[in-house]
Amino acid sequence: MSLASGRDHLAIPGPSVMPERVLRAMHRAAPNIYGGELVDMSDTLYADLNRLARNEEGEVVIYIGNGHAAWEASLCNLFNRGDKVLGLINGRFGLGWVDMAASLGIDMLRLEGGSEEPVDPARIEALLREDRAHDIKAVMTVQTDTSTSIDNDIQAIRRAIDAADHPALLLVDCIATLGCQPFDMQGWGVDVMVAGCQKGLMTPPGIAFAFIGPKAWNPDVRPDLRTPYWDWVNRVTTPVFAMRFGGTPPTHHLYGLRAALDMLFDEGIDNVWRRHRMLAECVWCAVDAWQMEGGLRLQVPEPGHRSLAVTTVCSENGAATALREWCETETGVTLGVGLVATPGTNTSDDLFRIGHMGHLNPPMLLGTLASIDTGLKALGIPHREAALEHTTQLLARLIAERGLR
Ligand SMILES: *Cc1c(COP(=O)(O)O)cnc(C)c1O
Protein backbone atom coordinates (compact mmCIF):
# COMPACT_ATOMS: atom_id res chain seq x y z
CA MET A 1 0.00 0.00 0.00
CA SER A 2 1.32 3.47 -0.86
CA LEU A 3 -0.06 7.00 -1.04
CA ALA A 4 1.15 7.58 -4.61
CA SER A 5 -2.25 7.15 -6.27
CA GLY A 6 -2.87 10.81 -7.13
CA ARG A 7 -1.36 12.65 -10.08
CA ASP A 8 2.28 11.61 -10.51
CA HIS A 9 4.72 14.48 -10.34
CA LEU A 10 7.84 14.38 -12.47
CA ALA A 11 10.51 16.50 -10.76
CA ILE A 12 13.38 15.44 -13.04
CA PRO A 13 15.36 18.03 -15.02
CA GLY A 14 13.75 17.22 -18.33
CA PRO A 15 11.52 16.19 -19.80
CA SER A 16 9.53 18.54 -17.59
CA VAL A 17 5.82 18.58 -16.75
CA MET A 18 3.66 19.02 -19.86
CA PRO A 19 0.86 21.55 -19.41
CA GLU A 20 -2.70 20.51 -20.33
CA ARG A 21 -2.79 23.44 -22.75
CA VAL A 22 0.17 22.00 -24.67
CA LEU A 23 -1.27 18.48 -24.65
CA ARG A 24 -4.68 19.73 -25.81
CA ALA A 25 -3.09 21.68 -28.66
CA MET A 26 -1.46 18.45 -29.84
CA HIS A 27 -4.65 16.37 -29.63
CA ARG A 28 -5.93 16.84 -33.16
CA ALA A 29 -6.21 15.16 -36.55
CA ALA A 30 -3.23 15.10 -38.90
CA PRO A 31 -2.95 18.44 -40.70
CA ASN A 32 -2.05 19.08 -44.33
CA ILE A 33 1.67 19.80 -44.60
CA TYR A 34 1.53 21.34 -48.09
CA GLY A 35 -0.36 24.49 -47.23
CA GLY A 36 -2.98 26.04 -44.99
CA GLU A 37 -3.11 26.50 -41.26
CA LEU A 38 0.00 24.56 -40.24
CA VAL A 39 2.20 26.52 -42.62
CA ASP A 40 0.83 29.89 -41.49
CA MET A 41 1.05 28.93 -37.83
CA SER A 42 4.66 27.75 -38.21
CA ASP A 43 5.76 31.16 -39.49
CA THR A 44 4.76 32.63 -36.14
CA LEU A 45 6.97 30.10 -34.33
CA TYR A 46 10.21 31.30 -35.90
CA ALA A 47 9.50 34.91 -34.99
CA ASP A 48 8.47 34.01 -31.45
CA LEU A 49 11.43 31.69 -30.83
CA ASN A 50 13.74 34.53 -31.84
CA ARG A 51 11.81 36.88 -29.59
CA LEU A 52 12.20 34.47 -26.67
CA ALA A 53 15.97 34.12 -27.25
CA ARG A 54 16.35 37.84 -28.08
CA ASN A 55 17.79 36.91 -31.46
CA GLU A 56 15.59 39.12 -33.63
CA GLU A 57 18.45 39.94 -36.01
CA GLY A 58 19.41 36.30 -36.45
CA GLU A 59 17.99 33.04 -37.75
CA VAL A 60 16.52 30.00 -36.04
CA VAL A 61 16.20 26.44 -37.33
CA ILE A 62 13.87 23.78 -35.94
CA TYR A 63 15.32 20.26 -36.10
CA ILE A 64 13.43 17.04 -35.48
CA GLY A 65 15.58 15.54 -32.74
CA ASN A 66 16.60 16.05 -29.16
CA GLY A 67 19.25 18.32 -27.68
CA HIS A 68 22.02 16.09 -28.99
CA ALA A 69 20.75 16.73 -32.53
CA ALA A 70 21.09 20.48 -32.04
CA TRP A 71 24.59 19.94 -30.62
CA GLU A 72 25.68 18.10 -33.73
CA ALA A 73 23.88 20.48 -36.09
CA SER A 74 25.62 23.51 -34.61
CA LEU A 75 29.07 21.90 -34.85
CA CYS A 76 28.59 20.63 -38.41
CA ASN A 77 27.48 23.99 -39.67
CA LEU A 78 30.35 25.98 -38.18
CA PHE A 79 33.56 23.98 -38.35
CA ASN A 80 36.06 22.21 -40.55
CA ARG A 81 37.86 19.06 -39.47
CA GLY A 82 40.91 20.14 -37.50
CA ASP A 83 39.53 23.55 -36.45
CA LYS A 84 40.54 24.51 -32.94
CA VAL A 85 37.70 25.18 -30.43
CA LEU A 86 37.82 25.92 -26.71
CA GLY A 87 35.27 23.92 -24.69
CA LEU A 88 34.33 24.72 -21.09
CA ILE A 89 33.44 21.75 -18.90
CA ASN A 90 31.73 21.67 -15.52
CA GLY A 91 29.65 18.55 -15.73
CA ARG A 92 28.39 15.81 -17.98
CA PHE A 93 26.62 18.00 -20.51
CA GLY A 94 29.48 20.38 -21.23
CA LEU A 95 31.67 17.30 -21.50
CA GLY A 96 29.20 15.56 -23.81
CA TRP A 97 29.16 18.45 -26.28
CA VAL A 98 32.96 18.70 -26.21
CA ASP A 99 33.37 14.94 -26.72
CA MET A 100 30.94 15.05 -29.64
CA ALA A 101 32.98 17.86 -31.24
CA ALA A 102 36.19 15.88 -30.73
CA SER A 103 34.65 12.80 -32.32
CA LEU A 104 33.69 14.89 -35.35
CA GLY A 105 37.37 15.76 -35.80
CA ILE A 106 37.36 19.20 -34.20
CA ASP A 107 40.56 19.91 -32.27
CA MET A 108 39.17 20.54 -28.78
CA LEU A 109 40.98 22.51 -26.10
CA ARG A 110 39.34 21.67 -22.78
CA LEU A 111 38.99 24.00 -19.82
CA GLU A 112 37.70 22.14 -16.77
CA GLY A 113 35.99 24.01 -13.95
CA GLY A 114 35.35 21.04 -11.66
CA SER A 115 31.95 19.98 -10.39
CA GLU A 116 31.14 22.77 -7.92
CA GLU A 117 31.82 26.05 -9.70
CA PRO A 118 31.98 27.57 -13.20
CA VAL A 119 35.19 27.91 -15.18
CA ASP A 120 36.86 31.17 -14.12
CA PRO A 121 36.49 33.63 -17.04
CA ALA A 122 40.02 34.91 -16.29
CA ARG A 123 41.35 31.51 -17.44
CA ILE A 124 39.42 31.88 -20.71
CA GLU A 125 40.85 35.34 -21.25
CA ALA A 126 44.41 34.14 -20.53
CA LEU A 127 44.09 31.23 -22.94
CA LEU A 128 42.72 33.41 -25.71
CA ARG A 129 45.47 36.02 -25.20
CA GLU A 130 48.06 33.30 -25.79
CA ASP A 131 46.40 32.46 -29.10
CA ARG A 132 47.99 35.34 -31.00
CA ALA A 133 47.38 33.72 -34.40
CA HIS A 134 43.66 33.51 -33.59
CA ASP A 135 43.55 29.78 -34.38
CA ILE A 136 40.74 29.23 -31.87
CA LYS A 137 37.53 29.53 -33.84
CA ALA A 138 35.04 29.45 -30.99
CA VAL A 139 34.39 29.10 -27.28
CA MET A 140 31.61 26.68 -26.40
CA THR A 141 29.83 26.30 -23.07
CA VAL A 142 26.59 25.26 -21.43
CA GLN A 143 24.59 27.92 -19.61
CA THR A 144 23.48 25.40 -16.97
CA ASP A 145 25.17 22.03 -16.75
CA THR A 146 22.21 19.86 -15.82
CA SER A 147 24.35 17.21 -14.08
CA THR A 148 26.02 19.50 -11.52
CA SER A 149 23.48 22.37 -11.71
CA ILE A 150 26.36 24.82 -12.17
CA ASP A 151 25.38 27.98 -13.99
CA ASN A 152 27.88 29.80 -16.19
CA ASP A 153 27.86 33.59 -16.42
CA ILE A 154 27.55 33.96 -20.18
CA GLN A 155 28.07 37.72 -20.10
CA ALA A 156 31.32 37.25 -18.17
CA ILE A 157 32.53 34.74 -20.76
CA ARG A 158 31.76 37.21 -23.55
CA ARG A 159 33.64 39.92 -21.64
CA ALA A 160 36.63 37.58 -21.32
CA ILE A 161 36.67 36.97 -25.08
CA ASP A 162 36.41 40.70 -25.78
CA ALA A 163 39.05 41.56 -23.18
CA ALA A 164 41.46 39.26 -25.04
CA ASP A 165 40.48 41.08 -28.24
CA HIS A 166 39.84 37.68 -29.81
CA PRO A 167 37.43 37.02 -32.72
CA ALA A 168 36.25 33.59 -31.43
CA LEU A 169 32.54 32.89 -31.75
CA LEU A 170 30.59 32.18 -28.56
CA LEU A 171 28.39 29.05 -28.63
CA VAL A 172 26.00 28.39 -25.75
CA ASP A 173 23.89 25.34 -24.87
CA CYS A 174 20.65 26.63 -23.28
CA ILE A 175 18.91 23.27 -23.46
CA ALA A 176 18.19 23.30 -19.72
CA THR A 177 17.58 27.00 -19.36
CA LEU A 178 15.74 28.57 -22.30
CA GLY A 179 12.41 29.73 -20.90
CA CYS A 180 13.65 29.34 -17.30
CA GLN A 181 16.25 32.01 -16.69
CA PRO A 182 17.46 35.22 -18.28
CA PHE A 183 19.14 34.92 -21.65
CA ASP A 184 19.73 37.68 -24.20
CA MET A 185 21.46 36.39 -27.30
CA GLN A 186 22.01 39.76 -28.94
CA GLY A 187 22.62 41.77 -25.80
CA TRP A 188 25.11 39.24 -24.45
CA GLY A 189 26.99 38.74 -27.71
CA VAL A 190 26.18 35.04 -28.15
CA ASP A 191 26.73 33.85 -31.73
CA VAL A 192 25.05 30.44 -31.66
CA MET A 193 22.65 29.02 -29.10
CA VAL A 194 21.11 25.56 -29.01
CA ALA A 195 18.00 24.52 -27.11
CA GLY A 196 15.49 21.68 -26.89
CA CYS A 197 11.72 21.75 -26.47
CA GLN A 198 11.26 19.45 -23.48
CA LYS A 199 12.60 21.50 -20.59
CA GLY A 200 11.70 25.18 -20.16
CA LEU A 201 9.59 24.96 -23.33
CA MET A 202 7.27 22.33 -21.80
CA THR A 203 6.72 20.37 -25.03
CA PRO A 204 7.23 16.58 -25.34
CA PRO A 205 10.80 15.70 -26.42
CA GLY A 206 11.29 15.64 -30.18
CA ILE A 207 12.31 19.02 -31.56
CA ALA A 208 15.38 21.14 -30.96
CA PHE A 209 16.61 24.54 -32.07
CA ALA A 210 19.72 26.21 -33.36
CA PHE A 211 19.72 30.01 -33.06
CA ILE A 212 22.26 31.67 -35.31
CA GLY A 213 23.42 35.23 -34.76
CA PRO A 214 24.65 37.51 -37.57
CA LYS A 215 28.37 36.79 -36.98
CA ALA A 216 27.83 33.03 -37.31
CA TRP A 217 25.54 33.26 -40.33
CA ASN A 218 27.76 32.90 -43.41
CA PRO A 219 25.66 31.29 -46.14
CA ASP A 220 28.50 31.60 -48.69
CA VAL A 221 31.02 29.64 -46.63
CA ARG A 222 30.77 25.83 -46.59
CA PRO A 223 32.60 24.20 -43.67
CA ASP A 224 33.65 20.66 -44.54
CA LEU A 225 31.76 19.12 -41.62
CA ARG A 226 28.45 20.40 -43.00
CA THR A 227 26.20 17.58 -44.19
CA PRO A 228 23.00 17.97 -46.25
CA TYR A 229 20.56 16.99 -43.52
CA TRP A 230 21.88 19.38 -40.87
CA ASP A 231 22.70 22.19 -43.32
CA TRP A 232 21.12 25.24 -41.73
CA VAL A 233 21.54 27.43 -44.81
CA ASN A 234 19.23 25.13 -46.81
CA ARG A 235 16.73 25.06 -44.00
CA VAL A 236 16.54 28.83 -43.70
CA THR A 237 16.56 29.64 -47.41
CA THR A 238 14.35 26.89 -48.88
CA PRO A 239 11.03 28.03 -50.37
CA VAL A 240 9.51 24.58 -49.64
CA PHE A 241 7.85 24.38 -46.22
CA ALA A 242 8.71 20.72 -45.57
CA MET A 243 12.36 21.29 -46.41
CA ARG A 244 12.67 23.66 -43.46
CA PHE A 245 12.54 20.38 -41.53
CA GLY A 246 14.57 18.32 -44.01
CA GLY A 247 11.37 16.34 -44.76
CA THR A 248 7.99 15.84 -43.12
CA PRO A 249 7.45 18.53 -40.44
CA PRO A 250 6.95 17.52 -36.79
CA THR A 251 3.30 18.56 -37.10
CA HIS A 252 1.99 17.97 -33.59
CA HIS A 253 5.11 19.22 -31.89
CA LEU A 254 4.67 22.50 -33.75
CA TYR A 255 1.15 22.87 -32.36
CA GLY A 256 2.39 21.98 -28.88
CA LEU A 257 5.22 24.50 -29.12
CA ARG A 258 2.79 27.21 -30.27
CA ALA A 259 0.73 26.66 -27.12
CA ALA A 260 3.85 26.63 -24.92
CA LEU A 261 5.15 29.90 -26.37
CA ASP A 262 1.69 31.45 -25.90
CA MET A 263 1.82 30.45 -22.25
CA LEU A 264 5.27 32.01 -21.77
CA PHE A 265 4.30 35.27 -23.46
CA ASP A 266 0.92 35.41 -21.69
CA GLU A 267 2.72 35.18 -18.35
CA GLY A 268 5.41 37.59 -19.54
CA ILE A 269 8.93 36.31 -20.01
CA ASP A 270 10.31 38.47 -17.18
CA ASN A 271 7.67 36.99 -14.88
CA VAL A 272 8.56 33.48 -16.04
CA TRP A 273 12.20 34.10 -15.09
CA ARG A 274 11.15 35.66 -11.76
CA ARG A 275 8.94 32.66 -10.96
CA HIS A 276 11.84 30.30 -11.66
CA ARG A 277 14.14 32.37 -9.44
CA MET A 278 11.67 32.35 -6.55
CA LEU A 279 11.08 28.59 -6.82
CA ALA A 280 14.83 27.89 -7.13
CA GLU A 281 15.46 29.93 -3.98
CA CYS A 282 12.90 27.77 -2.16
CA VAL A 283 14.81 24.63 -3.15
CA TRP A 284 18.14 26.11 -1.96
CA CYS A 285 16.52 27.25 1.29
CA ALA A 286 15.09 23.80 2.04
CA VAL A 287 18.34 21.94 1.33
CA ASP A 288 20.38 24.44 3.37
CA ALA A 289 17.90 24.13 6.21
CA TRP A 290 18.09 20.30 6.19
CA GLN A 291 21.88 20.28 6.07
CA MET A 292 23.80 18.62 8.90
CA GLU A 293 26.64 16.12 9.35
CA GLY A 294 25.91 12.94 7.39
CA GLY A 295 22.90 14.42 5.55
CA LEU A 296 22.15 16.41 2.40
CA ARG A 297 23.93 19.44 0.95
CA LEU A 298 23.80 21.52 -2.24
CA GLN A 299 26.44 20.59 -4.80
CA VAL A 300 27.08 24.24 -5.75
CA PRO A 301 28.12 26.25 -2.67
CA GLU A 302 27.91 29.76 -4.14
CA PRO A 303 24.32 30.98 -4.84
CA GLY A 304 25.47 33.09 -7.81
CA HIS A 305 26.78 29.93 -9.50
CA ARG A 306 23.49 28.00 -9.24
CA SER A 307 21.02 27.22 -11.98
CA LEU A 308 17.44 28.46 -11.77
CA ALA A 309 16.23 25.32 -13.59
CA VAL A 310 17.73 22.39 -11.67
CA THR A 311 19.40 21.72 -8.33
CA THR A 312 21.84 18.90 -7.61
CA VAL A 313 21.85 17.60 -4.04
CA CYS A 314 24.67 15.51 -2.49
CA SER A 315 24.32 12.93 0.27
CA GLU A 316 26.35 10.31 2.12
CA ASN A 317 26.08 6.52 2.41
CA GLY A 318 23.79 6.14 -0.62
CA ALA A 319 21.00 8.22 0.94
CA ALA A 320 20.20 9.99 -2.36
CA THR A 321 19.15 6.81 -4.15
CA ALA A 322 17.23 5.52 -1.14
CA LEU A 323 15.39 8.83 -0.87
CA ARG A 324 14.64 9.01 -4.58
CA GLU A 325 13.20 5.50 -4.58
CA TRP A 326 11.20 6.15 -1.42
CA CYS A 327 9.68 9.34 -2.84
CA GLU A 328 8.71 7.65 -6.08
CA THR A 329 7.04 4.61 -4.48
CA GLU A 330 5.53 6.20 -1.42
CA THR A 331 4.51 9.66 -2.62
CA GLY A 332 4.45 9.67 -6.44
CA VAL A 333 7.23 12.26 -6.87
CA THR A 334 10.00 11.27 -9.28
CA LEU A 335 13.34 12.97 -8.56
CA GLY A 336 16.23 13.08 -11.02
CA VAL A 337 19.02 10.49 -10.85
CA GLY A 338 22.49 11.70 -9.92
CA LEU A 339 24.78 12.05 -12.94
CA VAL A 340 28.45 12.00 -12.14
CA ALA A 341 30.52 14.74 -13.75
CA THR A 342 33.52 12.58 -14.56
CA PRO A 343 33.62 10.04 -17.40
CA GLY A 344 34.01 6.35 -16.62
CA THR A 345 31.29 6.42 -13.99
CA ASN A 346 27.62 6.95 -14.64
CA THR A 347 25.05 7.51 -11.93
CA SER A 348 25.80 8.04 -8.27
CA ASP A 349 23.91 6.86 -5.21
CA ASP A 350 24.98 10.03 -3.39
CA LEU A 351 23.51 12.58 -5.80
CA PHE A 352 19.99 13.40 -6.85
CA ARG A 353 18.56 16.29 -8.82
CA ILE A 354 15.40 18.32 -8.43
CA GLY A 355 14.11 19.69 -11.73
CA HIS A 356 12.35 23.04 -11.24
CA MET A 357 11.93 24.05 -14.86
CA GLY A 358 8.90 24.88 -16.95
CA HIS A 359 5.33 24.36 -15.82
CA LEU A 360 5.79 24.62 -12.06
CA ASN A 361 4.11 26.47 -9.21
CA PRO A 362 4.42 26.46 -5.40
CA PRO A 363 2.07 23.51 -4.67
CA MET A 364 4.00 21.34 -7.14
CA LEU A 365 7.39 22.37 -5.76
CA LEU A 366 6.40 22.47 -2.08
CA GLY A 367 4.81 19.03 -2.54
CA THR A 368 8.15 17.77 -3.81
CA LEU A 369 10.10 19.38 -0.96
CA ALA A 370 7.60 18.09 1.63
CA SER A 371 7.86 14.57 0.16
CA ILE A 372 11.65 14.74 0.50
CA ASP A 373 11.26 16.04 4.06
CA THR A 374 8.96 13.10 4.87
CA GLY A 375 11.40 10.67 3.25
CA LEU A 376 14.28 12.01 5.35
CA LYS A 377 12.26 11.21 8.46
CA ALA A 378 11.03 7.83 7.22
CA LEU A 379 14.52 6.68 6.25
CA GLY A 380 16.32 8.13 9.25
CA ILE A 381 18.60 10.31 7.10
CA PRO A 382 20.23 13.00 9.28
CA HIS A 383 18.55 16.38 8.79
CA ARG A 384 17.62 19.43 10.79
CA GLU A 385 13.97 20.11 11.68
CA ALA A 386 11.69 22.87 10.38
CA ALA A 387 13.17 23.15 6.87
CA LEU A 388 9.69 23.52 5.37
CA GLU A 389 8.85 26.25 7.87
CA HIS A 390 11.95 28.18 6.76
CA THR A 391 11.03 27.61 3.13
CA THR A 392 7.46 28.86 3.36
CA GLN A 393 8.64 31.89 5.35
CA LEU A 394 11.10 32.65 2.56
CA LEU A 395 8.45 32.16 -0.09
CA ALA A 396 6.04 34.49 1.69
CA ARG A 397 8.80 37.11 1.80
CA LEU A 398 9.68 36.62 -1.87
CA ILE A 399 6.05 36.97 -2.88
CA ALA A 400 5.69 40.15 -0.83
CA GLU A 401 8.85 41.60 -2.44
CA ARG A 402 8.20 40.42 -5.97
CA GLY A 403 7.49 43.87 -7.35
CA LEU A 404 10.85 45.09 -6.14
CA ARG A 405 13.04 42.37 -7.68
C1 LIG B 1 19.01 17.84 -21.43
C2 LIG B 1 20.28 18.49 -21.83
C3 LIG B 1 21.00 18.07 -22.96
C4 LIG B 1 20.63 16.87 -23.75
O5 LIG B 1 19.40 17.01 -24.37
P6 LIG B 1 18.70 15.74 -25.03
O7 LIG B 1 17.39 16.26 -25.48
O8 LIG B 1 18.60 14.71 -23.96
O9 LIG B 1 19.57 15.28 -26.16
C10 LIG B 1 22.13 18.77 -23.31
N11 LIG B 1 22.54 19.84 -22.59
C12 LIG B 1 21.88 20.26 -21.50
C13 LIG B 1 22.38 21.46 -20.76
C14 LIG B 1 20.74 19.60 -21.08
O15 LIG B 1 20.09 20.01 -19.99
Nearest-CA neighbor of 216 among 193, 187, 183?
A: 193
Top mutation candidate among 16, 66, 97, 175 for ligand 1, by most atoms within 8 Å of CB? 175
* Cα 395–Cα 261–Cα 19 angle in degrees, nearest 5: 60
Determine the angle formed by the axes of helices 37-53 and 251-267, rounding to 10 degrees: 50
176 lines ligand 1 (CB under 6 A): yes
Mean pLDDT taken over the chain: 97
Average pLDDT of span 17-28: 98
- Residue 402 is predicted with a pLDDT of 83
Q: Which SS3 state, helix, strand or coil, does residue 230 take?
A: coil
Calpha distance 303→35 (Å, rounded): 49
Give one DSSP letter per residue of 313-369, joined into a string: EE-STTHHHHHHHHIIIII-EEEEEEEPSSTT--EEEEEEEEE--SS--HHHHHHHH
Q: Which residues contact 398 (CB under 8 A, 6 or more apart)?
A: 278, 281, 282, 405
- pLDDT > 80? residue 78: yes
pLDDT at residue 75 above 60?
A: yes
CA of 95 to the centre of ligand 1 (A): 11
142 lines ligand 1 (CB under 6 A): yes
**pLDDT number for residue 346:** 76
Q: What pLDDT is attached to residue 343? A: 63
User: Nearest residue CA, atom 12 of ligand 1?
Assistant: 175
40 to each of 35, 43, 351, how far by Cα in Å?
A: 8, 5, 46
Rg, Å, the chain Cα set: 21
For residue range 101-159, list pLDDT tens digits in order: 999 999 999 999 999 999 999 999 999 999 999 999 999 999 999 999 999 999 999 99
Task: Say how far apart CA 281 and CA 275 lie, in whole Å.
Answer: 10
174: three-class secondary structure by DSSP: coil
d(CA 14, ligand 1 centre) in Å: 8
Question: How confident is the model over 236-255, as a mean pLDDT?
Answer: 97
Return the ligand 1 atom nearest residue 66 CA.
Answer: 7
Query: What predicted TM-score, i.e. pTM, was given to this entire model?
Result: 0.97
**Span 297-311, pLDDT tens digits:** 999 999 999 999 999
CB atoms within 10 A of CB 238: 14
Give me the count of residues in the chain: 405
Q: What is the pLDDT of residue 404?
A: 58
**Of 90, 106, 104, the residue nearest 143 (C-alpha):** 90
